[in-house]
Amino acid sequence: MPAAGIVPGPGNGKEYPGNLTLYVTITCMVAAMGGLIFGYDIGISVCVFFRWGDVDGLVLKKFFPSVYEKQKADSSTNQYCKFDSQTLTMFTSSLYLAALASSLVASWVTRKLGRKLSMLFGGLLFCAGALINGFAQKVWMLIVGRIFLGFGIGFANQSVPLYLSEMAPYKYRGALNIGFQLSITIGILVANVLNYFFAKIKGGWGWRLSLGGAVVPALIITIGSLVLPETPNSMIERDQREEARIKLKRIRGVEDIEEEFNDLVAASEASRKVEHPWRNLLQRKYRPQLTMAILIPFFQQLTGINVIMFYAPVLFKTIGFGSDAALMSAVITGVVNVGSTLVSIYGVDKWGRRFLFLEGGTQMLFCQIVVAACIGAKFGIDGEPGHLPKWYAIVVVLFICIYVAGFAWSWGPLGWLVPSEIFPLEIRSAAQSINVSVNMIFTFIIAQVFLVMLCHLKFGLFIFFAFFVVVMTIFVYFFLPETKNIPIEEMVIVWKQHWFWSRFMTDVDYPANGAVEMGKGGNSTKYV
Ligand code: BGC
């Protein structure tokens, strides 16, 4: 059926020679660690103030006295509204606005100065943020620190996924790129566990270790970026052709890299003609890529995952768990998150992106409905739980875990992988910034409004996200072509063969000899 998109088989496109060399594997593992800073931050940001990190309320009292007073005075028993505080959510989410702004600057750095340099800036800025936060004396220091962290994340998230997709041999691109998401999930888990232990430090200064501890992942990516090689694509883009040829041989582990090399050169020549990548993105011929750069991160956030990542303990407490049980459940979801990402590393280049998207979407939908029903049945609309039987708590945690697993092998990793592999070189950097920006805007919005939504929509919150999961799953089914096993500079083939997107891919813009306005170099491609 045409709507199901295209599964390109061998013979449809090129098959560049190349192996999964030790060199490329290690390089990609190091680069993927760029995800740690993002993950660590997701893990600590809310927990230090909202969750178990501030057991005695000392941090709250020091930095946010009015919130502290309000919480103390609040004697209402309505569980849905217990944690609603705009000041703290604003503080948490300021980071995402900073990340958004810096990803736009990173677009220029990544294109003109290379992927490595953007990673280096990411590490350094994040490091500065971690230090300012760790030593914070006044609330403005916390805010400035968070803004620096955001700047760092903007640079890293803009450059790392591109770096990985360009480095990887196309047959293993999915698996190597998902190393980024794996690091995000490890960062979240480590932060949650550390935070729990630091909170037990007597004297209430453990939060300084949680926040300052972010220098560790920051140093990893900073040092990593200094030792990593630049991608051949970026070297060619910056006129270092011969070095790029040598590097490509080393990365692929074969001598016969001419075909791939020529295509990279051709892509770079096309890219050079483009003076205004941003304006260029608006051209009709990039409509499919632009649509994906906006909708994929939008949908990723509208799965509702960050409600669980940020607020799982709050949520578990809300539905009646004790503090320790809430913490335990959050750690369990963290472990499920890491484990299920491994499943997608295993499957993404075998089963394809579409399969994971469709399966993951269906799984998340089912769980959201069950969780909404469970919470609704117990709390009704007034938010009074009464006594919660143990089996009930287990069912809720179990379905939240199955939901997290569904996300962790679909929208989590693919939300970063797919955009990074579908943009042609000439718009790659700018389009990736849009991807990061949209992701950050919606992470911000959800972090900002979740507590208010929980207060007003009650269990309907899960239905709200379930609705979007239905929409995104239908969208993938009809509009997202399969991209597994397609070399990154040959990606135009998937749009040209797609029942809907092909109307934007005219032969004038994309000549059938396989080169995207590239002239030479692509004439052995067997496009339909
Ligand atoms: C998302 C984050 C999310 C994380 C959870 C990432 O892909 O961008 O917003 O918190 O996955 O593992």
Residue to probe by mutation, ligand 1, list 41, 178, 305, 411, most atoms within 8 Å of CB: 305
- Return the closest-CA partner of residue 95 out of 64, 119, 129, 72: 129
Q: What single-letter amino acid sits at 207?
A: W
What is the rounded CA–CA span in Å between residue 162 and residue 297? Answer: 15
Average pLDDT over residues 515-520: 35
User: Is 85 within 8 Å of 67 (Cβ atoms)?
Assistant: yes
Quick check: 233 pLDDT over 80? Answer: yes
482, two tokens: 């399969």
> Which residue, by CA, sits nearest to atom 4 of ligand 1?
412
Confidence of residue 52 (pLDDT cuts 50, 70, 90): very low
What is the rounded CA–CA span in Å between residue 428 and residue 152? Answer: 20
Residue of higher predicted confidence among 436 and 528: 436
Confidence of residue 6 (pLDDT cuts 50, 70, 90): very low
Residue 504 has a pLDDT of 92
> Which residue, by CA, sits nearest to atom 8 of ligand 1?
412
Report residues whose beta carbon is within 6 angstroms of any ligand 1 atom.
Answer: 42, 181, 184-185, 188, 300, 305-306, 309, 337, 412, 415-416, 439, 443
CA 306 / ligand 1 centre spacing (Å) = 7
CATH of 22-229+274-504, one of 3.30.70.260, 1.10.287.3510, 1.20.1250.20, 1.10.340.70: 1.20.1250.20
Residue 238 has a pLDDT of 86
Quick check: 4 pLDDT over 60? Answer: no
Residue 393's CB: how many other CB atoms inside 10 A? 17
Quick check: 453 pLDDT over 90? Answer: no
pLDDT tens digit sequence for 196-206: 788 777 777 88
What is the rounded CA–CA span in Å between residue 66 and residue 139? Answer: 13
Confidence of residue 512 (pLDDT cuts 50, 70, 90): low
Residue 523 has a pLDDT of 33
Question: 227: buried, middle or exposed (CB in 10 Å: 19+, 13-18, 0-12)?
Answer: exposed
CA 55 / ligand 1 centre spacing (Å) = 26
Backbone angles phi, psi at 33, to 5 degrees: -60, -10
What is the rounded CA–CA span in Å between residue 14 and residue 22? Answer: 23
Averaged pLDDT score across all residues of the chain:
83
418, two tokens: 């797919």
User: What letter would DSSP give residue 458?
Assistant: T
What is the rounded CA–CA span in Å between residue 296 and residue 266? Answer: 28
Q: What single-letter amino acid sits at 70?
A: K
Residue of higher predicted confidence among 377 and 169: 169
What is the rounded CA–CA span in Å between residue 424 and residue 272? Answer: 12
pLDDT tens digit sequence for 288-308: 999 999 999 999 999 999 888
User: Is 337 within 8 Å of 404 (Cβ atoms)?
Assistant: yes
> Which residue, by CA, sits nearest to atom 3 of ligand 1?
306
User: Is 31 within 8 Å of 174 (Cβ atoms)?
Assistant: no
What angle is formed at CA 497 by the lines to CA 491 and CA 499, rounded to 5 degrees? 130
Residue 30 has a pLDDT of 92
- The residues near 347 (Cβ < 8 Å, ≥ 6 apart) are 355, 356, 409
188: Cα separation from own chain's centroid: 12
- The residues near 498 (Cβ < 8 Å, ≥ 6 apart) are 5, 6, 288, 481
CA 453 / ligand 1 centre spacing (Å) = 20
Residue 3 has a pLDDT of 40
The number of the ligand 1 atom at minimal distance from the alpha carbon of 297 is 8
- The residues near 49 (Cβ < 8 Å, ≥ 6 apart) are 59, 60, 64, 88, 91, 92
Looking up tokens 């990402």 gives 341
Confidence of residue 515 (pLDDT cuts 50, 70, 90): very low
98, two tokens: 């900073």
What is the helix, strand, coil percentage profile of the chain, to 5?
75, 0, 25
Q: CA-based diameter of the chain, in Å?
A: 73
H or E stretch at 144: helix 139-167
Residue to probe by mutation, ligand 1, list 157, 180, 184, 411, most atoms within 8 Å of CB: 184
User: Is 22 within 8 Å of 507 (Cβ atoms)?
Assistant: no
Confidence of residue 269 (pLDDT cuts 50, 70, 90): confident
Looking up tokens 């926040």 gives 211
Looking at 57-61, 339-343, 478-482, which range is the least confident one? 57-61
Looking up tokens 């303990």 gives 313
What is the rounded CA–CA span in Å between residue 305 and residue 240? Answer: 42
